[in-house]
Amino acid sequence: MKYLPLFFDLKTKPCLLVGGGMVAERKAELLCRAGARVRVVAPEIRPEIHALLDQYDGEALEQGYQAEMLEGALLVVAATDDHALNVQVHGDAQAAGIPVNVVDSPELCSFIFPAIVDRSPLMIAVSSGGASPVLARMVRARLEALIPRYYADLANLMGRFRDKVKQRFGKIASRRAYWERVLYGPVSEKLAANQLQEAEAWMEKELQQSQEQTTGEVYLVGAGPGDPDLLTFKALRMMQQADVVLYDRLVSPRIVELCRRDAERIYVGKESGNHAVPQEGINQLLVEQALKGHKVLRLKGGDPFIFGRGGEELEELFEHQIPFQVVPGITAASACSSYAGIPLTHRNYAQSVKFITGQLKNRTSDLNWPELVQENQTIVFYMGLHRVGHIAKQLVTHGKAPETPVALVQGGSTPQQKVVVGTLATIEQELERNPLQPPSLIIVGEVVELRDKLAWFKGEEEEAHPVLGLREQ
């Protein structure tokens, strides 16, 4: 984070603006709208700035800048085309411990002006840290189109109800639940239709009818394979509502960061031989947090109902009569195969696909091998990287052709994606030459041959090594 976003309360606070041209006019307008007492100093000051200062009770000094003018200022802005003067203002402000902005000179700024989406009291600031103001303005334009104007009325209405809601509900969880019902209820629609009185009446009625929350709820959410862009809209909404987040090792840090900032985060990741929290402990944590009245997010990599033990966790919640919701995620088989350019089914190669776990509950892999060697099907093994040699040998032993193509996909859909291709006869040697790390997926079937034509996404390592272990044609 290059800059920490802050919102200054400038009402009645003195601010100094050095410069009297068009750029200074834009900065003066922002400062005046924020309620600051603006003093502008420059040998020549545009008439528009004079008019603005008259309107907002500011002060214009048509003279040269002097360091003494900084006295008492909360912020300083230099907006001149004189580089030496800008440097001087920056140095004087730094020496006085006053935040300073020099327009179009990020290296001389201790704070910067963001592009602003104004839905007062709701304010959204967008900044590129000075790297690309044009990009920041472009993002702002998109947000302007996405965020309705009536959000200003919504924010004001919620502000008027804050004290009432605090008096009505003693628990933070109950207050948050009320506000979420407001935001996802009919209030927004009424405000969009300019029905302010009807919206306020609904909020009042809901406030009187709502009860103190005693038992929370659990959201079982699939986080997908790692790329945040592959999350569903509902998953994002649940991630923003949760008070407590329990997340797995397979959930990428970029996805965890999308959860509500003030939510408690509990890591419960599991890997071979190292379980941060055993499954029984995770089940108990979900129950304990929900019984405290919290909204609990159980965030799992991939899809929670495909080798994710989601069913086991929900059974425990059911026994304790705790409500829950399930949000599917894109499972690793779909994501890794798609990003590796390997269709799981194809009319010319495979008319069915099987998802297999490489390790059962008792830590064995005693699978129905004769069923897996059927023709015209694709087999996808989860959690089997460390047993790839055993899997390949068993498939060959039970009738699968040794030249059957195999792909190993590490970190599918992420910048760390790496793909190793071979056959049942060679894949163990290919893995030795090109080591992978869990989580990695094993794809077995003729469809792997299509990767030569269909691979469209490359991870960082694949850029340097376009094809790893690809069989010679």
Write out the chain's pLDDT in tens, 473 residues.
788 889 999 999 999 999 999 999 999 999 999 999 999 999 999 999 999 999 999 999 999 999 999 999 999 999 999 999 999 999 999 999 999 999 999 899 999 999 999 999 999 999 998 888 899 999 999 999 999 999 999 999 999 999 999 999 988 878 888 898 888 889 988 999 999 999 999 999 999 988 877 788 999 999 999 899 999 999 999 999 899 999 998 898 999 999 998 899 999 986 655 556 889 999 999 999 999 888 999 999 999 999 999 999 999 999 999 999 999 999 999 999 999 999 999 999 999 999 998 765 554 457 899 999 999 999 999 989 999 999 999 999 999 999 999 999 999 999 989 999 999 999 999 999 999 998 899 999 999 999 999 999 988 766 544 444 444 43
Task: Give buried/exposed letters for 191-219 (b at 16+ CB in 10 A, else e).
Answer: beeeeeeebbebbeebbeebeebeebbbb
Query: 3-state DSSP call for residue 109?
Result: coil
Helices (H) and strands (E) in the chain, counts: 18, 19
Any known ligand binding at 106? no
Query: 3-state DSSP call for residue 442?
Result: strand
Give the number of other Cβ atoms within 10 Å of residue 318's Cβ.
Answer: 11
- At 470 the pLDDT is 46
Domain boundaries, the chain: 14-113, 151-209, 217-330, 333-464
CB 406 within 8 A of CB 424: yes
- At 81 the pLDDT is 94
Query: 3-state DSSP call for residue 102?
Result: strand
Give the number of other Cβ atoms within 10 Å of residue 407's Cβ.
Answer: 26
In sequence order, which residues have a C-beta less than 8 Å from that of residue 124 and are 6 or more positions away? 116, 117, 140, 143, 147
Task: Please identify every residue annotated as catalytic.
Answer: 248, 270
Any known ligand binding at 130? no
Residues comprising the chain, all counted:
473
- Cis-peptide, bond into residue 225, ω within 30° of zero: no
Any known ligand binding at 452? no
**Strand 270-271 versus strand 264-267 pairing type:** unpaired
**Strand 405-410 versus strand 440-444 pairing type:** antiparallel
Place of tokens 């425990």: 316
- At 428 the pLDDT is 96
Any known ligand binding at 112? no
Any known ligand binding at 235? no
CA gap 90, 108 in Å, rounded? 6
User: Which of 260, 266, 304 has the alpha carbon at shortest distance from 285?
Assistant: 266
- Chain-centre distance of CA 450, in angstroms? 33
- Chain-centre distance of CA 323, in angstroms? 26
Give the number of other Cβ atoms within 10 Å of residue 456's Cβ.
Answer: 9
Any known ligand binding at 22? yes
Tell which CATH classification among 3.40.1010.10, 3.40.50.620, 3.30.70.860, 3.30.429.10 matches the domain 217-330: 3.40.1010.10
- For residue 225, give the H/E element and its range: none
Any known ligand binding at 332? yes
Indicate the CATH number for domain 14-113: 3.40.50.720
CA gap 103, 23 in Å, rounded? 8
Burial class of residue 79 (count of CB atoms within 10 Å of its CB; 0-12, 13-18, 19+):
buried
CB 194 within 8 A of CB 160: no
Burial class of residue 229 (count of CB atoms within 10 Å of its CB; 0-12, 13-18, 19+):
exposed
Helix %, strand %, coil % of the chain (to 5): 40, 20, 40
Any known ligand binding at 302? yes
Tell me the H-state helices in 210-268. 233-241, 253-256
Q: Which amino acid appears at position 371 of this protein? A: E
Q: Kindly state the DSSP code that residue 40 receives in the 8-state scheme.
A: E
Token output for 19: 């410069």
- At 1 the pLDDT is 79
In sequence order, which residues have a C-beta less than 8 Å from that of residue 389 and are 6 or more positions away? 427, 428
E strands, 252-386, in order: 264-267, 270-271, 274-275, 295-300, 324-327, 352-357, 377-382
Any known ligand binding at 44? yes
Token output for 260: 């509500």
CA gap 446, 400 in Å, rounded? 11
CB 420 within 8 A of CB 398: no
Indicate the CATH number for domain 333-464: 3.30.950.10
**Strand 244-247 versus strand 295-300 pairing type:** parallel
Any known ligand binding at 412? yes
CA gap 379, 443 in Å, rounded? 6
Sheet hosting strand 324-327, strand order edge to edge:
264-267, 244-247, 295-300, 217-222, 324-327
CA gap 171, 215 in Å, rounded? 12
CA gap 89, 325 in Å, rounded? 58
